[in-house]
């Protein structure tokens, strides 16, 4: 069987800096665990625009469709702010998500014990938190028609349409149930079935899909109550599945329970390919951080944890994903901190590269 393939798209700003640390981790797996990946690398975002006049070259798009997983750093930056909307760096990322049809967006909210003090919530509310929000990514109100701003009488009206087909709900629900099966076997579906027809259909379809997963304990919650519960006692949840709009809000809120933006990974998954692996894009939640780019200050952990997600969800290497997450946890427990994680007095921050080296050393120690 051929080696699993990864396309690396470092992007702009701190993207290449954090991706350099992921490359160290990938090399470690090759050298120490004999896990070989076929790695290729290409441009996306502003760097692709500089080279080709487009934020995603057709050849890069074609490569992304062929590989087992795409790993992306970040795109964007002030240099590109004045560009026409059609060639802005973000369009490269949106094209990847759209053409790969990545309908299931996984956003973990995990709080490492060593960082529990960074949360705005009380330590005992967040310490040990490990939940996963699955957000539908390709439909709903951000895409529904009709949309626009129209004239009506003597004023303007802004219109967006929430629209979900049964099949769209079915596929994202299935991906959430599959995920719940690999985790704590608990799934909470969130919508507004009390006031939205799309919410009524959402609840019906999720309930129906649930019959195929009798081991998973399914519950339903109105999304506004869900937001409240996420702040009150987030550890009651294991996996949450919700639509595009509510998922956008709930995943950002949940992510912030855990501290720095530099810690948050994500995965976007699509339909299974011929080899059974889902189409997949892994990326940190953060952007290109132009304010710290080129200074060696970026925290590479979000990007490294995104690679850990690829081990788990694309390559069926859950034990190796555990090993990598444990290495990150150990480094944090040892007090190693990039500048974004400073809180305690007298701690000198390490550079991006030193954080990567520390994680590789912790991987060594795990053998």
Nearer to ligand NAD, 76 or 270 (CB): 76
Nearer to ligand NAD, 42 or 283 (CB): 283
User: What does the alpha-carbon distance between residue 282 and residue 26 come to, in Å, rounded to a whole number?
Assistant: 14
Applying CB under 6 A, the residues found at the interface with ligand NAD are: 14, 18, 74-77, 90, 93, 261-262, 283, 286-292, 298-299, 302, 340
User: What does the alpha-carbon distance between residue 253 and residue 264 come to, in Å, rounded to a whole number?
Assistant: 12
Q: Which of 248, 313, 330, 340 is catalytic?
A: 248
The SS3 call for residue 258 is coil
User: What does the alpha-carbon distance between residue 224 and residue 312 come to, in Å, rounded to a whole number?
Assistant: 31
The alpha carbons of the chain give a radius of gyration, in whole angstroms, of 21
Smallest separation (angstroms) from ligand NAD to the CB of 119: 16
Give the closest residue to 286 by CA, choosing from 311, 309, 255, 243. 255
Q: Which of 142, 170, 185, 235 is catalytic?
A: 142
Q: Which of 88, 192, 279, 330 is catalytic?
A: 192
Contacting residues for 213 by C-beta, under 8 A, at least 6 apart? 177, 180, 181
Nearer to ligand NAD, 77 or 210 (CB): 77
User: What does the alpha-carbon distance between residue 350 and residue 167 come to, in Å, rounded to a whole number?
Assistant: 48
Asked if residues 94 and 101 have their Cβ atoms less than 8 Å apart, the reply is: no
User: How many other C-beta atoms are found inside a 10 Å radius of the C-beta of residue 53?
Assistant: 9
Q: What single string gives the DSSP state of each residue in 155-173?
A: EEEEEEE----HHHHHHHH
User: What does the alpha-carbon distance between residue 367 and residue 6 come to, in Å, rounded to a whole number?
Assistant: 24
113 has catalytic annotation: no
Asked if residues 266 and 303 have their Cβ atoms less than 8 Å apart, the reply is: no
357 has catalytic annotation: no
User: What does the alpha-carbon distance between residue 302 and residue 294 come to, in Å, rounded to a whole number?
Assistant: 17
364 has catalytic annotation: no
Smallest separation (angstroms) from ligand NAD to the CB of 279: 18
Smallest separation (angstroms) from ligand NAD to the CB of 256: 12
Ramachandran area for residue 45 (φ above 0: left; ψ -120 to 50: alpha; else beta): left
User: What does the alpha-carbon distance between residue 129 and residue 257 come to, in Å, rounded to a whole number?
Assistant: 9
80 has catalytic annotation: no
User: What does the alpha-carbon distance between residue 173 and residue 78 come to, in Å, rounded to a whole number?
Assistant: 38
29 has catalytic annotation: no
Q: Which of 130, 252, 322, 357 is catalytic?
A: 252
| Catalytic machinery residues | 142, 192, 224, 248, 252
């Amino acid at each position: 069987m051929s080696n699993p393939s990864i396309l690396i798209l470092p992007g702009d700003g701190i993207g290449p800096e954090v991706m350099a640390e992921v490359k160290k981790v990938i090399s470690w797996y090759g050298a120490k665990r004999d896990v070989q990946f076929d790695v290729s690398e290409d441009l996306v975002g502003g760097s692709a625009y500089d080279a080709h006049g487009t934020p995603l070259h057709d050849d890069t798009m074609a490569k992304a469709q062929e590989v087992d997983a795409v790993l992306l750093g970040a795109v964007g930056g002030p240099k590109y702010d004045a560009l026409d909307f059609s060639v802005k760096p973000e369009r490269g990322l949106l094209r990847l998500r759209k053409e790969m049809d990545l309908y299931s967006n996984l956003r973990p909210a995990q709080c490492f014990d060593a960082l529990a003090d960074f949360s705005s919530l009380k330590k005992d509310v967040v310490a040990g938190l490990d939940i996963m929000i699955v957000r539908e990514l390709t439909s709903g109100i951000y895409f529904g028609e009709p949309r626009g701003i129209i004239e009506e009488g003597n004023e303007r009206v802004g219109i967006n349409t929430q629209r979900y087909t049964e099949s769209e709900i079915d596929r994202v629900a299935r991906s959430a149930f599959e995920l719940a099966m690999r985790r704590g076997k608990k799934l909470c579906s969130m919508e507004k079935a009390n006031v939205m027809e799309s919410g009524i259909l959402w609840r019906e379809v999720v309930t129906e899909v649930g019959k195929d997963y009798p081991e998973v304990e399914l519950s339903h919650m109105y999304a506004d109550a869900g937001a409240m519960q996420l702040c009150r006692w987030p550890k009651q949840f294991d996996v949450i599945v919700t639509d595009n709009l509510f998922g956008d809000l709930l995943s950002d809120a949940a992510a912030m329970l855990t501290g720095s933006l530099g810690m948050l990974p994500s995965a976007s998954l699509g339909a299974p390919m011929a080899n059974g692996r889902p189409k997949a894009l892994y990326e940190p939640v953060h952007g290109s951080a132009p304010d710290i780019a080129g200074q060696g200050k970026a925290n590479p952990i979000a990007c490294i944890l995104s690679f850990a997600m690829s081990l788990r969800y694309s390559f069926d290497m859950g034990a190796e994903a555990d090993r990598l997450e444990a290495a990150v946890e150990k480094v944090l427990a040892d007090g190693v901190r990039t500048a974004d994680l400073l809180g305690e007095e007298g701690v000198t921050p390490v550079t991006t590269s030193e954080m990567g080296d520390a994680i590789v050393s912790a991987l060594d120690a795990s053998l």
